[in-house]
Amino acid sequence: MTTALARLEGLEVFYGASQALFGVDLEIGPGQAVALLGRNGMGKTTTIRTLCRMQPLYRGKVWFDGRDITALPSFRAARLGIGLVPEGRRCFASLTVTENLIAAARPGPWTLARVQDFFPRLAERADQTAATLSGGEQQMLAIGRALMTNPRLLVLDEATEGLAPVIRREIWTAIGELKRAGLSLLVVDKTLSELLPLADSCVILERGQSVWHGTPTDLSPEVEQRYLGL
Amino acid sequence: MRELRREHMLNALLAAALFAVPLWAYLVDEPFLITLATRVAILAMAGVGLNLALGLGGMVSFGHAVYFGLGGYCAGVLAHHAFNATPVLMGLDGTNQMLVIWLVAMALSGLLAAMIGALSLRTSGIFFIMITLAFAQMFFYFALSWPAYGGEDGLPIYVRNVFPGLNTMRPWNMFVIAFVMLMLVLALFAMIRASRFGAALMAIRQNADRVAAVGISPFGVKLAGFVISGMITGLAGAMMADLTRFVSPSMMAWQMSGELIVIIILGGTGRLFGPVVGAAILVGFEVIFGGLTEHWKFWLGLVLLSVVLFARGGFIGLLAGKERHG
């Protein structure tokens, strides 16, 4: 229990009168990659937003590095080391690539130079506004921006969605390198063929509840068919 | 990049023109023109202050005149007590030293901006506009009903405050002081815009939640930007009071807040030299068309309307392209 870097306990979340999460439990160990799986509308993004403290919760607890962060605002959670790559990239469109990166900078090993070295495309596009980048470049920028916060846990919400296969491959290679570098990951993605070899463990959400925990090898075709519709 | 270089060149040209015109006036002994250029420089400085909040941070403050007026009253009140050799309060003497007055004006404006910002920045959109306006009007009516410092009639500064080594009564010297201060404030603006703080301020304008997700407190950054903005505008107010040797509640009136916004929109919101161009247009219109008709603001309104409809980047945008950098 105490070795987990991040832990979600019995999350219950409402959007107005409608309940989105009915009890989500999840644990991410240091250096671990956890795949958060489930069909559309099952609460994956809400779970991520709750972990990042962007979503108020009705019941449950969010722990990070042994500390209860349930009551913290999102910027404080981010400062503790939770880096988010949000769904749909969401870069600051009118800012340049460099401005997007330096706005997020916090002290640590991930500097502007290292991020540009990791994604050389961002160095080439340094003075372009984010709005003029391709989808893949924007995704690199979104990951680079999260890395600039020097996170201990990187949360990726549909990081390869809507990208060309070649670019998607590049992004998966980058995610793999980050894992090998020791970064903890929580990944939501529909490309299970890429996600599962990377993951140490999986959590499946069904109608706002975590209904299955296990390793990728435990994921039987029956489970996949029942919860993921594969 | 080409547009960026074009804007750099345009900025250099504008700075040179702002210096050359009064220099020529000095050589041919036209003090009125020098004073006019000084007014442009000081109004531009006030505009740079608002440009930081509005142009970079997207905070549409409709009450920035309060800092302009407060700066003006700092100069007026301190000079008034120095002239009459009476204490301001609790044994503290007045002063006629510009540098001291500027520091006091910036400190008090910053403090007031921190208080107003702490309350108003919890809102956004129309509510933010209305709250900032309400605070400014509160101080306007307070100044109006403050008989100790002239109330509605305002407060004259009998002898212009002094600057070490320069005779400030000479228009050229006063212009040089205002020009150098404007350049320093513009350099500060450029430095802030290129910094992490500036990038965060610009990012908050787009989406505060996303900024919070990278570990930045949107409220803290906006408040810091608002305070710096108020301090710059306060400094400009103190200098304007010294230029006109008069301070009155009208410096804090909503029309003044409106003029500052007009200056920024005309020049180009968020553009480095936008306030310089905006202030030059405003003063130019006032002098040229003000002599022809008392309805000169109608024509200025038409220009403003054209800029809003057809040149969203203001005159800088029109001349240097869409890129906001420069």
The domain in which residue B228 lies consists of 2-320
Contacts with A54 from chain B: Cβ below 8 Å: 209, 212-213
Residues with Cβ within 8 Å of A44's Cβ and at least 6 positions away in sequence, in order, are A36, A37, A38, A157, A188, A205
CATH number at residue B143: 1.10.3470
Q: Tally Cβ neighbours within 10 Å of residue B186.
A: 20
Q: Evaluate whether residue B74 is within a structural domain.
A: yes
Q: Evaluate whether residue B325 is within a structural domain.
A: no
For B199, nearest residue in chain A (alpha carbons): A103
Q: What is the pLDDT of residue B326?
A: 37
The DSSP-derived string for B238-279 is: HHHHHHHTEE-GGGGSHHHHHHHHHHHHHH-TT-TTHHHHHH
ipTM: 0.86
Is A73–B217 a contact, with Cβ atoms under 8 angstroms apart? yes
User: Does the beta carbon of A107 lie under 8 angstroms from any beta carbon of chain B?
Assistant: no
Task: Reply yes or no on whether the pLDDT at B4 is more than 70.
Answer: no
Q: Evaluate whether residue B310 is within a structural domain.
A: yes
Q: Evaluate whether residue B8 is within a structural domain.
A: yes
User: Does the beta carbon of A208 lie under 8 angstroms from any beta carbon of chain B?
Assistant: no
Count of structural domains, chain B = 1
Q: Evaluate whether residue B169 is within a structural domain.
A: yes
Q: What is the mean pLDDT of each run of 10 residues along chain A (230 residues)?
A: 84 94 95 94 95 95 96 96 91 93 95 96 94 93 96 95 91 95 95 93 94 92 83
Cα–Cα distance measured from residue A208 to residue B155, given in angstroms and rounded to the nearest whole number? 68
- The pLDDT > 70 percentage for chain B reads 97
Is A75–B202 a contact, with Cβ atoms under 8 angstroms apart? no
* pLDDT tens figures, A186-215: 999 999 999 999 999 999 999 999 999 999
Task: Reply yes or no on whether the pLDDT at B1 is more than 60.
Answer: no
User: Does the beta carbon of A95 lie under 8 angstroms from any beta carbon of chain B?
Assistant: yes
* pLDDT tens figures, B280-325: 999 999 998 888 888 888 888 999 999 888 888 899 998 888 654 4
Helix (H) or strand (E) holding B50: helix B31-50
Q: Evaluate whether residue B326 is within a structural domain.
A: no
Cα–Cα distance measured from residue A91 to residue A86, given in angstroms and rounded to the nearest whole number? 9
Mean pLDDT of chain A: 93
CATH dotted code for A6-88+151-228: 3.40.50.300
Which among B1, B4, B199 has the least Cβ separation from residue A95?
A: B199
Which among B195, B203, B212 has the least Cβ separation from residue A75?
A: B212
- Report A:118-157 residues touching B (Cβ under 8 A): 127, 145-146, 148-149
Q: Kindly report the nearest CA distance between residue B94 and chain A, in angstroms.
A: 43
C-beta separation of A11 from A56 below 8 A: no
Is A103–B212 a contact, with Cβ atoms under 8 angstroms apart? no
Is A75–B1 a contact, with Cβ atoms under 8 angstroms apart? no
For B219, nearest residue in chain A (alpha carbons): A75
Quickly state the pLDDT bin for B89 (edges 50, 70, 90): confident
Q: Evaluate whether residue B127 is within a structural domain.
A: yes
The size of chain B, in residues, is 326
Contacts with A85 from chain B: Cβ below 8 Å: none
Task: Reply yes or no on whether the pLDDT at B10 is more than 90.
Answer: yes
What are the φ and ψ backbone dihedral angles of B122, each rounded to 5 degrees?
Answer: -80, -10
User: Does the beta carbon of A112 lie under 8 angstroms from any beta carbon of chain B?
Assistant: no
Task: Return the closest-CA partner of residue B281 out of B14, B19, B8, B6.
Answer: B14
Q: What is the pLDDT of residue A230?
A: 66
Q: What is the pLDDT of residue B325?
A: 43
Q: What is the pLDDT of residue B129?
A: 96
Which among B1, B202, B212 has the least Cβ separation from residue A73?
A: B212
Q: What is the pLDDT of residue B321?
A: 80
Which among A54, A96, A106 has the least Cβ separation from residue B213?
A: A54
pTM of the predicted structure, to 2 decimals? 0.90
Is B214–A95 a contact, with Cβ atoms under 8 angstroms apart? no
Task: Reply yes or no on whether the pLDDT at B92 is more than 60.
Answer: yes
User: Does the beta carbon of A159 lie under 8 angstroms from any beta carbon of chain B?
Assistant: no
* DSSP category for residue A2: T
